[in-house]
Homo-oligomer: A and B are copies of this chain.
Amino acid sequence: MGFYPLMLPFEKKLKLGQLEVGGGGFIVAAGPCSIESREQFLEIAQAVQTAGASLLRGGIFKMRTHSHSFQGLGEAGFEIAEDVRERTGLPLVSEITDPRQIPTLGSVVDVFQIGARNMYNYELLKELGRSSKPVLLKRSFSATIEEWLAAAEYVRGAGNPNVILCERGIRTFERVTRNTLDLSAVAYVKAHSDFPVLVDPSHATGVRALVRPMCLAAAAAGADGLLLEVHSKPASALSDGQQALTIEDFRALMNDLGRLLPALGRWLEPGPLPRGAARASLAKTLATAKRVSLVGPDAPFTS
């Protein structure tokens, strides 16, 4: 007997290059909150790829509460993003904050992320609806599920069906966590819409120690994958260090997921391999680690 056979058909697939989202496999997008330098981003990118991440995340334009906080590298980050994406072969998801960034940012990212604070920025959504590039739409921390789905319709209604939702916690009275992760929203949206749904436990909890259990819970609740902050040196990160997993944390989590997903009738969706010499080496490492469960598709790695 399968899991969720009626409720979660996993038939609503979306392709990011060769990577399938929402078809039963579980994808993991990982990387730093902000791209800080070439060295930082490359180191983290290669580490998460080795551990089994299938997408890369890294902020270029940041949304910060205070105007005097680090706002991301901006256009200075484009060349770094392009280089790291080229070397690893991983698709890159990064936040867009202004419709005028579409042509330039669009040339270096594979998925436009709409941050929680821009979920209601309908002008931006409409503009992205006129593009065909996939859009990762985070739920605003104050949005009802209905509003979140309605925001997704702004993109789809304007012509772009490639929308991935992302639950990242809602604002409540609780104070030990940054937000309250709403996993029932994941199950609800899987049952009532066509969109794949990721979960971002880093922003939801704001507390490193809570990220791992919430990742496992997200998988069990039926999420299609994760969006995770990972940093090689969280203590000196320019933003959100307190919630970033270390590389070691991330490896342990991927091991846990590799064991948990098959019990849910699912598998870790393999990401693209790097080009060149690193390719064979990584393929071997991943096969040895048996991190990818046997219930998934036959050919585990493609690029």
Contact = CB atoms under 8 A, between A and B. Distances in A.
A236 to B, nearest CB: 24
A290 to B, nearest CB: 13
Interface in A216-250: 216-222
A280 interface: no
Contacts of A213: 4, 7-8, 183-184, 186-187, 220-222
Given A122-B63, A153-B66, A183 B185 contact: no
B173 A170 contact: yes
Interface string A237-274: 00000000000000010011001101110000000000
Contacts of A158: 67
Nearest to A179: B184
A176 B220 contact: no
Contacts of A4: 212-213
A188 B177 contact: yes
Tallying the copies of this chain within the complex gives 4
Nearest to A201: B184
B1 A252 contact: yes
A298 interface: no
A144 B174 contact: yes
A204 interface: yes
A83 to B, nearest CB: 26
Interface string A128-172: 000000000000111011110010011001100000000000111
A174 B183 contact: no
A180 B177 CA distance: 14
Interface of A: 1, 3-4, 7-8, 63-68, 97-100, 117-118, 120-123, 126, 140-142, 144-147, 150, 153-154, 157-158, 170-177, 180-188, 191, 204-205, 207, 209-210, 212-214, 216-222, 252, 255-256, 259-260, 262-264
20 contacts: A4-B212, A7-B209, A65-B146, A67-B122, A67-B153, A67-B157, A121-B121, A142-B142, A144-B176, A170-B172, A170-B180, A171-B173, A174-B185, A176-B188, A180-B180, A184-B204, A184-B213, A216-B221, A216-B264, A217-B218
